[in-house]
Structure 1
């Protein structure tokens, strides 16, 4: 029954077209896949190789950008403004990017966006290395990068299905996240060394040059081996069509609502970590890079576990989101630096589990013709909420301290996850059952009729 699959299978794909329907046989097939099965596909292997290089550069720039703004202003709020400007275009124009991704050839679109992103890094490098950089330059560069991301994100997310097909989509989405987090292990560490040794400018320069790799990978792909996906024709009302499509499917709308709350209030780590390093632990750029690297290690572990996992269950999404929020609250009051640092690992693991599970379940439940628009809405909500949350979180952190700011973000994430879990349970006809199993407490969702029969 459909009502019982929302929290049990999590994909809700009975409302999606047949090619993406995760029936029992395909679920068994997914579970037999290896952790790296999608890398056997040449086009995806080229894509992944290019992305790990550019992602490393992107993380170097993120760390250098945050530290540069903090050095120029001494304010966590200024870091929040930078993040807000980078994600503001996604909030304002995100759905338009999805329409373009559904209409245009995605490989050619990605060639243009990757080149533009490389140019923004080179521009900031020239300004910084010449000694003329000011904080408004960083603000402007962040905003321009955000404009490019409006188109790049949905195109890149939906292009994965064209490279690997529906059978390998879950695995490829998870490996994309593992790719991103692998780069996150290297990028912050290299950035910390570069900033300390020669300054932020060289981190920006290497980021700009790193985009040569994904551009080369896209050019080397074999177009004949891509999975053909019908492109949406030009027409009026395509934005409204995408919104109506999502609104009528609880298996899409509630995961998107959840990642919106978590992205807006729970993922403001540049603000919190820079404030903890500067005000609580009195560290330097190397300390900031170390914390990001530890979080990336946890995120990488979470991504690889997701790649090995055959299904994307919504109950896993809700549970991981609750634990993510609770861990942020606990970590906010860590009495010593080493405890705080160690806690970055599980926070990264559960945060990445939330992201990958929501992403793959939404993609698998979506008609390929609508995937660009749905994923643009997903990314708009997940990252576009940052312009709303980052200044507020920055203000709370500046006013009440890093510990209160971090704990407040975790509390919002945990409460939102619990609320979405309740709504999904109601839609799926489930109730929370608390009992004992072989002497151990057991908490799970069961069908209402089962509880009635047992009574």
Structure 2
């Protein structure tokens, strides 16, 4: 019986380094999603503007888009564990500043500034975390599973965090959410302390390969190029439902902060199911066709959110949107990780991150102002329709 139970545990979780990172990061990410949900709700409460929600996303992601390529170069040059010590500690201080800002009733622009600082930190944190996973897996055949588990952990937190945030905000206010996030970073910092990696194992003799090598590798590989283009479209238009969700909850579905938390949870459950589903997939062949189908499903989901305006229907389409968007991201990540040589892995992960977030701040800004001008529902239909047409064109390639 013990042998059969052991078989149920994914191979990466049987490896101490990956397991430590998985659980430490998982606790920290729950805190991060609690903060994210509370911050969006707070900004909408202060401003009553969807443009402000777009600006909030813009302020977080523009620094990431600008500096993430440099962050990937740093990840290839220095010890990834050391970089994560710095970034996670910096995130802790930003969360504490948000806590004090909320208590002092700081202006909307103060939160925009802190969000921009978080985006700058994330430009170094994100490509480093993505590339660090490879170092934590002993058998590289377990890499697709490890990537899916890593994403599953992220999306489990995305389900748990906003749901907790909804009730915390309702009963205690937004400030407590920022404090909980600051405390949660102790979990990942502790896990990093106990993770043992060989000094310099990520620094190869080929580490000086520049971004031209990564760029040439990207454009010369048809599957990677197509997947990155689709992911960029998903980042630009597919995030529209996430940007507008506080307004969808309040103005269209006429629900409060608890309902908003449940809606975010619906999307998060879809993302979690996607990660668990892809975690069982060991076949890495024909990934590009899988990516195309997920992108198509995302476009249909956006249109469904706009058309079917009741809580249950919206929750279903949010589930499908979360499932398809994260499936698109995970499968693209897997495709790149499987095909990328080690000496440009950090750079390719920064290109991957840039393709997902590089256009999204401009998409968020456009979506925020467009929804203010023509309404939330037409904005979602336009985003879904453009993405649908792009998917149809790519299907023929």
For the aligned pair, the TM-score class normalised by the smaller chain equals over 0.9
Is 1:159 matched with 2:132? yes
Tell me if structure 1 keeps the 8 A contact 2:207–2:343: no
Which of 247-256 and 157-166 deviates more?
247-256
Alpha-carbon distance, 1:421 to partner: 2.8
Q: 2:297 aligned to 312, 316, 323, which one?
A: 323
CA apart distance, 1:241: 2.7
1:58 Cα deviation from its structure 2 partner: 0.7
**2:201 — aligned with what?**
228
SS of residue matched to 2:254 = coil
Q: Do 1:333 and 1:403's aligned partners in 2 also have CA atoms closer than 8 Å?
A: yes
Give the alignment of 1:372-411 within 5 angstroms.
372-411=346-385
Match of 1:207 among 181, 186, 193: 181
- Residue in structure 1 matched with residue 3 of structure 2 by the alignment: none
Q: Does 1:74 align with 2:48?
A: yes
What secondary structure does 2:312 align onto? helix
- Output the CA distance in 2 between the equivalents of 1:34 and 1:260: 35
Aligned-partner SS, 1:211: helix
Q: Are 1:246 and 2:222 matched, yes or no?
A: no
Match of 1:260 in 2: 232
Equivalent position of 1:147 in the other structure = 120
1:335: Cα distance to partner?
3.6
Residues 185-204 of structure 1: CA deviation (Å, up to 9, x unaligned): 11001111111111111101
Superposed CA deviations along residues 161-209 of structure 1, whole A, max 9, x for unmatched, are 1110421110011001110111111100111111111111110111111
1:294 to 253, 262, 266: 266
Aligned partner of 2:275 among 303, 307, 322: 303
CA contact (8 A) 2:53 2:244 kept: no
Shift >3 Å, 4+ stretches = 226-235
Structure 1, 42-51 or 89-98: larger mean CA deviation: 89-98
Q: CA deviation at 1:343?
A: 2.3
Q: In the alignment, is residue 125 of structure 1 matched against residue 123 of structure 2?
A: no
> In structure 2, do the counterparts of structure 1 residues 68 and 101 end up closer, same or farther at CA, with 3 Å as the change threshold?
same
Answer yes or no: is the 8 Å Cα contact 1:261–1:412 preserved in 2: no
* Larger helix proportion of the pair: 2
2:77·2:203 contact (CA, 8 Å) conserved in 1? Answer: no
Q: Cα deviations across residues 42-84 of structure 1 (Å, max 9, x unaligned)?
A: 0000000011111101111111111111111110110110101
Q: How does 1:317-396 map to 2 (within 5 A)?
A: 317-396=291-370
Matches of 2:300 and 2:91, distance apart in 1? 35
CA contact (8 A) 1:277 1:287 kept: yes
- Contact 1:85 1:139 (8 Å CA) reproduced: yes
Per the normalisation by structure 1, the TM-score is 0.82
Report the TM-score, using the length of structure 2 for normalisation. 0.94
Does 100-109 or 343-352 show the bigger shift?
343-352
* 1:251-294 deviation per Cα after TM superposition (whole angstroms, max 9, x unaligned): 22111111001011111333221121121122211111110101
Hey, what's the Cα distance between the residues in 2 that align with 1:419 and 1:106?
39
Map 1:17-166 → 2, pairs under 5 A? 36-129=10-103, 131-165=104-138, 166=140
- The alpha carbon displacement at 1:234 in A equals 7.0
| Alpha-carbon distance in structure 2 between the residues aligned to 1:415 and 1:368 | 36
Q: Bigger radius of gyration, 1 or 2?
A: 1
Displacement of 1:336 in angstroms is 2.2
Match of 1:279 among 244, 251, 255: 251
Matched-pair contact (CA < 8 Å) for 2:270–2:318: yes
Whether the 8 Å contact between 1:36 and 1:171 is mirrored in structure 2 is yes
Partner-residue secondary structure (3-state), 1:223: coil
> Matched residue of 1:282: which SS?
coil
Aligned length: 388
Matched position secondary structure for 2:156: helix
Which sections of structure 1, spanning at least 5 residues, go unmatched? 1-32, 424-455
